[in-house]
């Protein structure tokens, strides 16, 4: 009966954020709490528990730790989490880790590579290590060389962690039975951006994922993992990659990875995105309809490590006197405390947002408002990305400002992007009956909100994402690189 180590360590690090990621920023489950909370859920861990039963593994699951994207992870946090994982490694026959793939710490710009290097050193060269990743992973040679399989999610919104974890578990089990000796080949090109930011509905990402499905089905590779990369990371290896897992290393995997990246390079400029300026968005919001206009503020997306407290767009909504609108959310624990002091049903002035960097989407604004809802911020998410797990945004409030129905503003104390209707409904925001809903999210909101929207527009509110795009200063990134430099050959 093989013993398998599993763990979650997930953080997408935006190295341009001023908000350092401490141990407190992580939601952490340990030991028995992990099985209690995750068994039976449609998550990577839910799949891992099922696989352990199917294959007869004894699971060791010391820790599951994830934090909303934010700035560089402090060394002390990484060492604490990595130590918890490595402490259970001795004597394991295999490992199935669920990582993000774009974590940066004070000391390691490739934190997952460092973790896998240590795990490999602890387990020795022959114990199989299989890893699931986010498709926004910045995959490095260190990760590829120290893992026997890399498998990223294939959807954005990411709704297939469960399926990918089952695929990874099946791969690991074959390796444990010595049926296969998997190895990973990796390819990259001098690209920081590409693959349409990882959008899987159409365009080059869709094309490569379809090819990957075909090659896997034909037995040409055990797994093909396509990563769009995470661009708000000033590290040497940021950008798209393809990792191909094959049985043994005979060059086939590298040939597939190279051909995929040649295609990604050729189509690097393809985009499905168009960004609407705020005034145009306000004009569209003034029109009424039978379902909400959903505006996603892509440039202040906590899911990309932006601050989640930019106020320019909210200020424009108040200025435009929008009716029956909702705004999710402003991340501002101090503003929540003001709302608590005012009390439910009472009216007062709340100063909110813009606290991290007023140059990134606007400074604090003071809003006269009624406090409609106060909450501890815990709710059960039920959308396709959530798998029925409990989420916690910390003490939260919903304010209503303006005449009549006005604008409902969610305030949260733990940052997080809008991905699930329950984030709004748990605060009393009646999603389907709103005329306009603003969500701070780049793409993940679509799984839950597309079905209720009359139309979706993407707005540049001037937040950190906009600042990085307009002039993010990269000092560690390999150069030359597209689109920051003129690059003529893929090299």
Return residues touching Zn ion (CB under 5 A).
Answer: 134, 136
Burial 450-486 (b: 16+ CB within 10 A, else e): eeebeebbbbbbbbbbbbbeeebebeebeeebbeeee
In whole angstroms, how close is the CB of 137 to Zn ion at the nearest point? 8
Q: How far apart are CA 172 and CA 96, in angstroms?
A: 7
In whole angstroms, how close is the CB of 100 to Zn ion at the nearest point? 8
CB nearer to Zn ion: pick between 182 and 383: 383
In whole angstroms, how close is the CB of 379 to Zn ion at the nearest point? 22
Query: Which of helix, strand or coil describes residue 334?
Result: helix
CB nearer to Zn ion: pick between 52 and 159: 159
CB nearer to Zn ion: pick between 119 and 385: 385
In whole angstroms, how close is the CB of 340 to Zn ion at the nearest point? 33
Tally the C-alpha atoms within 13 A of residue 92's C-alpha that lie toward its C-beta: 31
In whole angstroms, how close is the CB of 230 to Zn ion at the nearest point? 8
In contact, 444 and 419? CB cutoff 8 Å: yes
Q: How far apart are CA 205 and CA 208, in angstroms?
A: 5
In whole angstroms, how close is the CB of 188 to Zn ion at the nearest point? 18
**Please, what's the largest Cα pairwise distance for the chain?**
70
CB nearer to Zn ion: pick between 60 and 188: 188
| Overall size of the chain counted in residues | 491
Residue number with the smallest Cβ distance to Zn ion: 136
Q: How far apart are CA 200 and CA 312, in angstroms?
A: 30
CB nearer to Zn ion: pick between 60 and 136: 136
Please report which helix (H) or strand (E) contains residue 457, including its range.
Answer: strand 455-459
CB nearer to Zn ion: pick between 158 and 400: 158
In whole angstroms, how close is the CB of 217 to Zn ion at the nearest point? 25
Q: How far apart are CA 328 and CA 308, in angstroms?
A: 9
**Backbone phi, then psi, for 175, in 5-degree steps?**
-65, -40
CB nearer to Zn ion: pick between 48 and 419: 419
């Amino acid at each position: 009966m093989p013993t398998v180590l599993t763990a979650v360590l997930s953080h997408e690090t935006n190295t341009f954020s001023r908000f350092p990621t401490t141990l407190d920023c992580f939601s952490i489950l340990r030991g028995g709490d992990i099985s209690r909370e995750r068994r039976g859920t449609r998550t990577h861990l839910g799949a891992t528990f099922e696989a352990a039963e199917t294959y007869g593994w004894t699971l060791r699951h010391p820790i599951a730790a994830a934090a909303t994207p934010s700035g560089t992870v402090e060394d002390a946090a990484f060492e604490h989490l990595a130590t918890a994982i490595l402490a259970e490694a001795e004597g394991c026959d295999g490992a199935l880790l669920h990582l993000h793939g774009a974590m940066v710490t004070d000391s390691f710009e490739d934190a997952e590579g460092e973790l896998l290097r240590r795990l490999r050193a602890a387990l020795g060269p022959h114990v199989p290590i299989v890893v699931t990743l986010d498709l926004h992973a910045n995959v490095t040679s260190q990760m590829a060389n120290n893992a026997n399989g890399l498998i990223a999610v294939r959807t954005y919104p990411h709704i297939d962690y469960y399926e990918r974890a089952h695929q990874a578990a099946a791969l690991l089990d074959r390796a444990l039975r010595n049926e296969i000796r998997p190895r990973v080949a990796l390819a990259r090109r001098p690209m920081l951006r590409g693959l349409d930011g990882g959008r899987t509905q159409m365009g080059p990402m869709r094309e490569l994922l379809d090819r990957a499905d075909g090659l896997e089905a034909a037995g040409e590779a055990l797994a093909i993992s396509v990563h769009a990369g995470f661009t708000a990371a000033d590290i040497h290896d940021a950008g798209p990659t393809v990792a191909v897992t094959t049985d043994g290393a005979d060059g086939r995997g590298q040939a597939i990875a190279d051909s995929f990246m040649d295609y990604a390079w050729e189509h690097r400029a393809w985009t499905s995105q168009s960004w609407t300026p705020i005034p145009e968005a306000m004009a569209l919001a003034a029109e009424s309809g039978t379902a909400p206009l959903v505006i996603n503020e892509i440039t202040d997306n906590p899911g990309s490590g932006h601050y989640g407290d930019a106020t320019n767009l909210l200020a424009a909504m108040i200025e435009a006197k929008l009716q029956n609108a909702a705004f999710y959310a402003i991340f501002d624990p101090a503003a929540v405390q003001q709302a608590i002091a005012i009390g439910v049903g009472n009216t007062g002035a709340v100063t909110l947002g813009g606290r991290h960097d007023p140059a990134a989407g606007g400074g604090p604004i003071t809003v006269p408002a009624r406090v409609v809802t106060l909450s501890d911020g815990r709710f059960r998410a039920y959308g396709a990305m959530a798998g029925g797990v409990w989420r916690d945004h910390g003490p939260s409030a919903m304010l209503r400002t303006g005449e009549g129905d006005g604008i409902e503003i969610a305030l949260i104390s733990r940052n997080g992007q809008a991905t699930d209707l329950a984030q709004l409904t748990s605060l009393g925001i009646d999603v389907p009956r709103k005329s306009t809903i603003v969500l701070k999210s780049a793409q993940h909101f679509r799984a839950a909100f597309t079905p209720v929207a009359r139309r979706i527009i993407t707005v540049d509110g001037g937040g950190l994402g906009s600042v990085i795009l307009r002039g993010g200063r990269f000092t560690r990134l390999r150069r030359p690189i597209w689109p920051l430099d003129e690059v003529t050959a893929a090299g």
